[in-house]
Amino acid sequence: MAKILVVDDNKDLRETTQVFLEESALEVVPAIDGRGAKEILESRHEEIGVVLTDYQMPRMNGVDLIKLVKVCYPWIKTILMSADDPQFVEQLAKSAGADYFVVKPFNITELAGKIKEFLEKEEAEMAWP
């Protein structure tokens, strides 16, 4: 199964999300911001199935990261998460092409289920002759 790139400049949230997703049998690659994620994607994009990114981060925000992913790696699913004004950020997420949006704090079980749904659909599509 493909890996999840978890991008958040908040170390505690990034590490907590990673632990919970790994407990849900998902493999995680962490990144501290959008630029770090971009570097990981450049060398490991074939391993990544979902990018889960925070909205507000230094160097490159989550919306700009999603735009980059959709141009360079359109098969990768993207999820934007934010604690900011949900209606405003959700509109930004949609305009960037995000596949899903979650408001912080989020239910990690529901999020893991959505990620698994994305990855299983991708695997099924790849297996189709």
User: How high is the mean pLDDT of the chain?
Assistant: 93
Do the Cβ atoms of 83 and 77 come closer than 8 Å? no
* Partners of 100 in the β-ladder: 79
1-28, pLDDT tens digit by residue?
Answer: 799 999 999 999 999 999 999 999 999 9
Q: Is the pTM of this model over 0.85?
A: yes
The residues spanned by each domain of the chain are 3-127
How far is the C-alpha of 117 from the C-alpha of 76, rounded, in Å? 13
21-48, pLDDT tens digit by residue?
Answer: 999 999 999 999 999 999 999 999 999 9
Reported as a pLDDT band with limits 50, 70 and 90, residue 94 is very high
Q: Domain 3-127 adopts which CATH fold?
A: Rossmann fold (3.40.50)
64-80, pLDDT tens digit by residue?
Answer: 999 999 999 999 999 99
How far is the C-alpha of 20 from the C-alpha of 26, rounded, in Å? 9
